[in-house]
Amino acid sequence: MNGNGNESNPPRLTRRSLVRRTLGAGAAVALPWIIPGRAWGADGVPPSERITLGVIGYGPRCTHVLGCMLAETDLHCVAIADVQASRRQKCKETVDNQYGSKDCAMYRDFREMLARKDIDAVLIATGDRWHTPAAVHAARAGKDIYCEKPCSMTIAECALMADTMHRYGRVYQAGTQRRSIGNFQIARDLAQGGKLGRLKTLHASLVEPGVGYGWLPAEPEPPKDEVDWDMWLGACPWRPFNRRYINGDWRAFNDFNAGANILEWGAHTVDQCQWANASDGTVPVEYEVVGRNIHARYANGVTLVMESLKDAFGDRSPQFQTQLGTCPVRYEGDEGWVETGDSGDIAVSSASLKADLKRLITSRQRAGTDAGSHVRNFLDCVKSRARTNSNADVTRRSHVAGHAAAIAWQLQRKVTLDPQTERFTSDDEANRMRSRAAREPWCL
């Protein structure tokens, strides 16, 4: 068994072990060999310790996360797969400039890249619709996975993603990087350590829920080598091409958006509340729309308020006492509260809690959007086979909670969920919304 509790993986044949086997077998070798210094670890990292990476989907968020990865000396990016030629080329230029080479390979179809045996791990940073299918294909190809959020389109995809990671023994890290950032860790510690008393209410900020159900007007479809529109759509229903989709406006449409926009911030903030409530192995059992918010209740009596802030900069809810940047969370107990967000600051309710903060804060906090420490956690776990901070199981549960809230929002009524079966109680309509039909040939 490996550190993930999954089936053990065969030992990786490294460059070093290959050389030893070749020489030990007395193979005929023409000397001298001409091998680049990097292959021998001239940059201080032995080849056997270097992780080779492929990228699936290159866009704004990928630019930041890949930058964090390229800064790590024990990782080497070798390939990019994207359905848009302009993005493939831009990623290649970024990678080649980092290494001073022209070696980064480009692929339109990510499955061709996954067939390469020299790739250890992938960064998936596509739109929502491709996160689970790409992760499943990568796991089946024997790759470890860092996947941006939201990691699934539906409750059913949550289960498929997590079950596949276990079946193939893969290391998985969701891009919910706040689990690896100090101020969020400190707020969690205060909540779980009893410093707030008995937890009563958790607040997870959301952007305004709601998406459209129409289509954009058809435009001439570009050549496949420029934009592979059929692959861009993936398992989603067929829609005529419109350039606004590929330029980022897909988020406004239900066909391509995971969970009525609730998981845009909720993938982070609900995850933080799950963590603070020590609920990584369960989800709330009831979900009810209350005005612009969704109130959820855990079996232990704690209330989770998924609270719409309308947008990232305005209409601050009165429940959030301070301006803490994007994705704020608040944990309330019967003896105090703590609140934090992407600014890195932490607000607390009393002088005694401020004294606790002084003991807990040992270094300057990162911003909540910074993936650096989360990337480092992923790479360390690829090597050790330990569980990542945002592993497949905790991601499954927090995303199920977000999807259940989205279903309550779309139905505009209360729904009750069984945390074990992840099915709604006596509610056929809600259960039909646990999954979406998949367009051929992308049924998994």
- Taken in order of first residue, the domains within the chain and their CATH numbers are 179-210+259-432 (3.30.360.10)
Measured distance CA(33)–CA(39) in Å, rounded: 12
Query: Average pLDDT of 251-274?
Result: 96
CA 168, CA 136: separation in Å to the nearest integer?
A: 10
pTM score, two decimals? 0.89
The pLDDT-based confidence of 39 (bands split at 50, 70, 90) is very low
Residue 345: count other Cβ atoms within 10 Å of its Cβ: 15
Say whether pLDDT at 2 is over 50.
no
**pLDDT value for 15:** 45
Report the distance separating Cα 151 and Cα 323, nearest Å: 28
Q: Give yes or no for residue 27 having a pLDDT over 90.
A: no
Q: Does the pLDDT at position 194 exceed 90?
A: yes
Determine the distance from the C-alpha atom of residue 334 to the mean position of all C-alpha atoms in its chain, rounded to a whole number.
33
Categorize the per-residue pLDDT at 25 as very low, low, confident or very high, splitting at 50, 70 and 90.
very low
Coil vs helix vs strand at 390:
coil
Q: Which of 164-173, 201-210, 395-404 has the lowest mean pLDDT?
A: 201-210
Q: Is 335:196 a contact under the CB 8 Å cutoff?
A: yes
Binned at pLDDT 50, 70 and 90, residue 317 comes out as: low
Bridge-partner residues for 193, per DSSP? none
pLDDT band at 416 (very low <50, low <70, confident <90, very high): very high
With a cut of 90, say whether residue 368 has pLDDT above it: no
Helix axes of 155-168 and 392-411: crossing angle, nearest 10 degrees? 170
Is residue 289's pLDDT more than 70?
yes
Distance CA 433, CA 156 (A): 9
- Who wins on pLDDT, 320 or 183? 183
pLDDT of 219 > 70? The answer is yes
Q: Label residue 321 by pLDDT band (50, 70, 90).
A: low
Residue 441 preceded by cis peptide, ω within 30: yes
Q: What is the mean pLDDT of residues 295-324?
A: 75
Average pLDDT along the chain: 89
Query: Which letter, b or e, does each residue of 70-84 get, where b requires 16 or more Cβ atoms within 10 Å of its Cβ?
Result: bebebbbbbbbbbbb
Contact criterion met (CB below 8 Å) for 108 and 82: yes
Cβ contact 138:145 at 8 Å: yes
Q: Is the pLDDT of residue 345 over 90?
A: no
Task: Indicate whether 33 pLDDT > 50.
Answer: no
Q: Is the pLDDT of residue 158 over 70?
A: yes
Query: pLDDT value at position 19?
Result: 41
Q: Is there a contact between 328 and 191 (Cβ–Cβ < 8 Å)?
A: no
Report residue 293 as tokens: 């918010």
Mean of pLDDT values over 340-358: 89
| pLDDT category of residue 363 using cuts at 50, 70 and 90 | low
